Amino acid sequence: MTSQNTASVPLQSPRGVAHEHGWSVESRHPTSGGTVLYVRCTECGVRRVDVQRSRQQPPEALSHETASPSERR
């Protein structure tokens, strides 16, 4: 039995819609409290500041996600 009922969901994902950011480290700065990582999402350009307190721990977010100034309107 063939079904014609293949619902085609439009893949329109406007910017700002929550997605899993693909962070890429733009720069890192060793500080006394750990390594501060400036990361940017390669998909939507959102930036965030992380801190990695030790090499055994994953980075944790220091700042909220912020749009890059050039894209802010």
Binding site for Zn ion (CB under 5 A): 21, 41, 43-44
State whether the Cα torsion 61-56-23-20 is positive or negative. negative
Which is nearer to Zn ion, 1 or 17 (by Cβ)?
17
Residue 20 C-beta: closest distance to Zn ion, Å: 8
State whether the Cα torsion 50-24-21-45 is positive or negative. positive
Which is nearer to Zn ion, 34 or 46 (by Cβ)?
46
Residue 43 C-beta: closest distance to Zn ion, Å: 4
Amino acid in position 69: P
